[in-house]
């Protein structure tokens, strides 16, 4: 899967807030810890990328096979660049080794005020 496989909605005209998303990933039975390790391996390199504002992975307390991730990017272009990083394309290519079903993603429009975004390029 590459960013071409995602339907990345364009920001509204004049939209200046972070480009954000929330997603879910469900591990195959017995693969929860392996999926957690694979997802956590993405955290530090992603947080170092230009335009990465927030990148978090969560594990459901009641359902340890369910993971929720939240990302906020300075722009859609920054997210597109992220999706082309070798460590991301590698994870996406092998994700079904861990997943019971493919990830779901919701593309969010930030409604609350967001602090001024500094140029990180």
Over residues 108-118, the pLDDT tens digits come to: 998 887 766 55
User: Given this model, what pLDDT does residue 120 score?
Assistant: 54
Q: Please, what's the b/e burial string for 6-17 (b: 16 or more CB within 10 A of its CB; e: otherwise)?
A: eebeeeeeeeeb
Q: Can you tell me the distance from the alpha carbon of 96 to that of 20, in angstroms, rounded to the nearest whole number?
A: 24
Class of the CATH-defined domain 17-109: alpha beta
User: Given this model, what pLDDT does residue 1 score?
Assistant: 38
Say whether pLDDT at 119 is over 80.
no
**Tokens standing for 20?**
């954000």
Neighbours of 76 (CB within 10 A): 17
Q: Can you tell me the distance from the alpha carbon of 34 to that of 97, in angstroms, rounded to the nearest whole number?
A: 9
User: Given this model, what pLDDT does residue 117 score?
Assistant: 57
pLDDT digits (tens, 9 = 90+) for 30-68: 999 999 999 999 999 999 999 999 999 999 999 999 999
As a whole number, the mean pLDDT across the chain is 91
Q: Can you tell me the distance from the alpha carbon of 21 to that of 23, in angstroms, rounded to the nearest whole number?
A: 7
pTM: 0.87
């Amino acid at each position: 899967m590459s960013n071409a496989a995602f339907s990345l909605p364009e920001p509204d005209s004049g939209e200046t807030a972070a480009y954000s998303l929330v997603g879910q990933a469900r591990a195959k039975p017995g693969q929860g810890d392996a999926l957690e390790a694979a997802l956590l391996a993405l955290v530090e390199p992603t947080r170092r990328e230009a335009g990465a504002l927030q990148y978090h992975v969560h594990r459901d307390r009641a359902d340890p096979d369910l993971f929720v991730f939240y990302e906020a990017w300075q722009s859609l272009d920054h997210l597109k660049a992220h999706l082309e990083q070798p460590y991301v394309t590698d994870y996406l290519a092998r994700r079904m080794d861990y997943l019971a079903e493919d990830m779901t993603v919701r593309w969010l429009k930030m409604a609350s005020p967001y602090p001024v975004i500094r140029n990180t390029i």
